[in-house]
Each structure stands twice: as C-alpha cells, then as structure tokens.
Amino acid sequence: VQVLIIGAAGMLGRKLAEAMAARGIAGAPVTDLRLADVIAPPVPAGFSGKVQTLAVDLAAEGAAAALVADLPAVIFHLAAVVSGEAEADFDKGYAVNLDATRALFEAIRAAGGGYRPRVVFTSSAAVFGPPFPEVIGDDFRTTPLTSYGTQKAIGELLLNDYSRRGFLDGVGLRLPTICIRPGTPNRAASGFFSNILREPLAGLPAVLPVRDTLRHWFASPRAAVGFLQHAAAIDTAPLGFRRSLMMPGLSATVADQIEALRRVAGQQAVDLIRLAPDPVIAAIVETWAQDYDPARARALGFQAESSFDQIIAVHLEDELGRPHAQAR
C-alpha cells in the first residue's frame, strides 16, 4: 500500500509513521511511505520499504497537487495549526486548517481517472460548543466557539461532500485530548493536562492552572495512533455521509489524574505539582465538554483506555522505555 502522511513531523504524525512502518494497515504491509510536513519529518527506524520525506507547506500553491501526483491509496491529513495558535493568528489558522485542507481535497478531485483514496482527517472535540448536556452523544450539534473548531467543522463538511460526490473516501476522527503528550509543551491550552503527569514522572516540577475538579475527555497517543490505523481500513459504508466520528476516550477529573500519578509514582511525584490558578487558561478550558458517548465509533471497533493508570502506563512504556503490565 502506498501511504501519504501530511503533518508527519508532528506528535501523532511521527508515531503514526512508525506504526505504519512496523505494522502496515490491517495486516497489509506499507510498501511506500510519503512523509510530508513544513519541517522535514524523521524516517521511521528499520523501515525496509520505499520512503520519501518532504519539507513542504501544504498551504503553498501547487503543494497539494505535487503530494498526490502519484496517487497514494491512503492519505492521513494531520497537518494543522493548534487551537491556541489558530485563535491568536486568525489568518494562519484559516490558511492551514481550512484553505490547505480544501486544496488537498481539490488536488485529489483534480487527479481524476477514478482515483478515490481513503482520506483520514483529524478533527477535534472543538467542533462542539456549549451549552453542553452532561454526556455528548453522536447526534450533538456542531457549533464551535473557537476559530480552530470552526475550521475543523468546515473540514468535516468538506469531507462529507467530497465523499458523497465520490472524489475520496473520507473518515474524520474527532480526537480526544491526547494525554500524556510527550516532549515539550505546545501552544494548546490543554497542555497542563499532560504537563502535570509527564513532568513529575520525570522528577520535574509542574504547574496546575485550574481547579482539580475539572473534568475532561482523554486518550493516549498510542490509542490515537490505533484510531488512525483502524480508520484507514474500516468499511465506510456504515458511516453513510456522516463521515466524522467522536473517538472513544476516558472522562476523568484532574484529581483522578493526580490520584493515578500517586498510585504509580508515589506522593513525592504529586508533591512536584504546584497549584497556580491562571484565569486565561481556566476561561478556555471551563467551556470544554466533560463526557461523551461515542457509540458509533465503538460499534465500528475504535478502542481507547478505560483508566488513567493505563494512560500513565502507556507513557512509561512508550516514552520512558519502562515496560508496564497495565499498558496492555
């Protein structure tokens, strides 16, 4: 299978490239991997197939056409400007999250000749906006309250329409907040959910900017890669033309996160967390939804963790090389 990953230098893109190289799609090996991002993506270790890395801005004139020129069978579109940045820089957010997405879909349509690739698009729970019911079901309206959420919601509509018209075979994944995000914090307002676990697990201090009763929806990076791999292979007929699915996850409070940290790494790790209320971050995250019932995705076989102990165990195993029984 020939696979193109756009946004392949990002947190999920790198992990997805490694998973594609190691496991392929539904047992079929990936023979040809195209990895594109504004910064040159790394080549997954030990991949024996053909691999090409491209430093390219998807929003640039002609970039999308060049990327699909040799008709990859599966395209993962992960390139995006994250929530905080899309809110701070209106032009950049629309240029990347909307215009470049449309340019990609148009390039696929223009290829013609019956070309109809599987396109896996990463959307977000940010397509929803308050007021929220206690639990959000699959039929909840999409009325985003951020520019990022609006751009993702439009991307979902384009994915539906280009699928309906037969130009591509799309699956949109509304990802939960991915936790524990490895590496250094990015400009997402959700960063602290990862920082308060990742830093203490490494013996470093962390700041908690919100109340610990705050509840939110999470899945691990490993689960997210699993969603992407699964989406590349599912039968899309049951989706009809509602191509985007809320992904499974775990509804947990900050206090639940901290209790799991205490169980795994002890009180000395918890003592590294300092409460420093930040009204700006609190104002953003207080408007986020707390719980979902992603019945459609579960019925289609998408799976995530069911406890924060598991999410921490995945981090210990995948990022710190410490095998952990609970990560299974």
Ligand X SMILES: NC(=O)c1ccc[n+]([C@@H]2O[C@H](COP(=O)([O-])OP(=O)(O)OC[C@H]3O[C@@H](n4cnc5c(N)ncnc54)[C@H](O)[C@@H]3O)[C@@H](O)[C@H]2O)c1
Q: Which residues bind ligand X (CB under 6 A)?
A: 6-7, 9-13, 37-39, 57-59, 78-82, 96, 100, 122, 124, 175, 177-178, 186
207, HSE (Cβ side, Cα atoms, 13 Å): 8
162 belongs to the catalytic site: no
* Residue among 62 and 166 whose Cβ is closer to ligand X: 62
* Residue among 111 and 175 whose Cβ is closer to ligand X: 175
Measured CA to CA, the distance from residue 118 to residue 170 in angstroms comes to 6
Residues 220/180, Cβ–Cβ less than 8 Å: yes
- Closest approach of ligand X to the CB of residue 60, in Å: 8
Contacts of 286 (CB under 8 A, 6+ apart): 210, 214
Single-letter amino acid code for the residue at 91: D
- Closest approach of ligand X to the CB of residue 124, in Å: 4
- Closest approach of ligand X to the CB of residue 267, in Å: 28
- Closest approach of ligand X to the CB of residue 161, in Å: 19
SS3 188: coil
Q: In the chain, which residue ranges form alpha helices assigned H by DSSP?
A: 11-23, 63-68, 83-88, 90-93, 101-111, 147-164, 191-201, 221-233, 254-265, 267-270, 279-285, 295-299, 308-318
DSSP 96: I
- The one catalytic residue among 94, 148, 162, 292: 148
* Residue among 31 and 143 whose Cβ is closer to ligand X: 143
- Closest approach of ligand X to the CB of residue 168, in Å: 17
Token pair for residue 27? 């047992």
Residue whose entry in the numeric block shows the structure tokens 């991915």 = 178
- Closest approach of ligand X to the CB of residue 305, in Å: 14
Contacts of 299 (CB under 8 A, 6+ apart): none
Token pair for residue 315? 């981090």
* Residue among 12 and 68 whose Cβ is closer to ligand X: 12
Exposure b/e, 101-128, CB count within 10 A at least 16 = b: bebbbbbbbebeeeebbbbbbbbbbbbb
Active-site residue set: 148
